[in-house]
Structure 1
């Protein structure tokens, strides 16, 4: 991602309907993990690929957060803007000893990593026994568009691919998995297909991603409410059969 995009994403993470709704879904699910005893209270958290820093800010409501980001410019930019201490490092070579963190998070990160199996292995390595891994990734290659290209994605996923990554190797089990941003899947699918046919993504200014046409008005609030409403279903244990993204939670076992 080019440097100027991080400056755009700093604001988008805090106001765009997709980011704010994803935050609602993630934070409510973590609250459930703690309330049901699947994750200890006040956990030590590793946030991998923290980007402009908003995810580390909301994760700090649950416990002590250690943040790591691959892009050096983003580390410096996010640290200056948020006051967070952010480590420059890679998910495929995490600079931590084994079994250090109760919760290891990577929100829309591993699609940026060519060796995603190694990335997952590293996340497992630094998790304590009985620790929890929580990730989100974009779903379905049919939704591939200029948005993925400009964000340097290697792939989008189906659920069986994510499950295969996590069930390979270390002992553990998935606690929960689901597609999400499901209610808005039809219009997103239509928009992506139309954009691909017209080549409109390449003509955009700024980031060129789907987030570029952001307007912080009524439509933004409506879309937020639609997507955020899925949090109730997620916390109720319901799994959506399709969606624009995937939420996957895995527990490390001895």
Structure 2
């Protein structure tokens, strides 16, 4: 991810989309912690911690360590209290520690060898530990937005679950950001059509991340849509489509 794109990502860290994703994360963390049957503080690793927008939520459930490679992200993380350790090496790297929960939220799509990345995550889970992941949905939505973010691909629920190793049992998976899916998909397809009809000047197109910043009242409304989705997901993932795929999986105990 380019520095200017990461700065935009940082500026949007408290908008409706990031709040909605944190709500989904909390729901999946609560389900994992209930399933553990313990009230002890959990050992948690977040891979791709960004500017630390998820850290306060994660710290409610245990002791947190993070992996982040962006200089901007690392600078922000160093200012957040009570992070046990910050790793600045891209995965896979040699890490002789295991965790109760590992989170990789919108991370796997940035890694060319996604199967190796997932295997690295699973190998660092304790027996019975949990992997929480999100990835962008639908390859047909792949656009300049994805290229600017450094994505290699997008997924469906089926194609993502297919790359999970055998020692993982999927407890819950599905689509998120479903209410706004049709609007976002239509906008992206119109942009793609416009680009094909109206070529850029001098054959050059600047790749940009699509902004998720909206006016205040729209931000509030969109945020409420995602909160409703999260409440539904607490029961059962029923949405047949969405802009993201999420998965909560457990490592089989030996």
| TM-score, scaled to structure 1 | 0.88
Does residue 210 of structure 1 match 2:210?
yes
Is the alpha carbon distance of 1:238 and 1:159 closer, same or farther for their aligned partners in structure 2, counting shifts above 3 Å? closer
Aligned partner of 1:12 in structure 2 is 12
Query: What residue number does 1:232 align with?
Result: 231
Alignment of 1:60-75 (within 5 A): 60-71=59-70, 73-75=71-73
2:143 is matched with which residue: 142, 145, 153? 145
Q: Does 1:182 align with 2:178?
A: yes
How far residue 29 of structure 1 moved from its aligned partner, in angstroms, is 2.4
**SS in structure 2 of the partner of residue 54 of structure 1:** coil
User: Aligned with 1:76: secondary structure?
Assistant: helix
Residue of structure 1 in register with 2:110 after alignment: 112
Task: Summarize the alignment of residues 27-46 of structure 1 with structure 2, pairs less than 5 Å apart.
Answer: 27-37=26-36, 41-46=40-45
Cα gap change, 1:29 to 1:206, in 2 (>3 Å): farther
C-alpha contact 2:144 2:207 (8 A) present in aligned 1: no
Checking the alignment, whether the CA contact within 8 Å between 1:113 and 1:154 is kept in structure 2 is yes
Q: Distance in 2 between matches of 1:232 and 1:160?
A: 23
CA apart distance, 1:69:
1.0
The aligned counterpart of 1:220 is 219
C-alpha contact (below 8 Å) 1:10/1:53 kept by paired residues: no
Q: Please, which runs of 5 or more residues in structure 2 have no aligned partner?
A: none
Does the Cα contact within 8 Å between 1:39 and 1:131 map onto a contact in 2? no
Count how many residue pairs are aligned between Structure 1 and Structure 2: 245
**2:65 and 2:110 mapped to 1: Cα distance?**
20
Alignment root-mean-square deviation, CA? 2.4
Report what 2:133 is aligned to.
135
Aligned equivalent of 1:165: 163
Decide whether aligned partners of structure 1 residues 39 and 22 sit closer, same or farther in structure 2, where only a CA change above 3 A counts: farther
Long gaps (5+) in structure 1: none
Shift of 1:104: 0.6
Structure 2 Cα separation of the partners of residues 224 and 128 of structure 1: 34
Indicate if the aligned counterparts of 1:5 and 1:207 stay in contact, CA closer than 8 A.
no
Change (3 A) 1:192 1:79: same
Residue deviations 1:71-118, cap 9 Å, x none?
3x134322344355521012222x3215x1000110000000000000
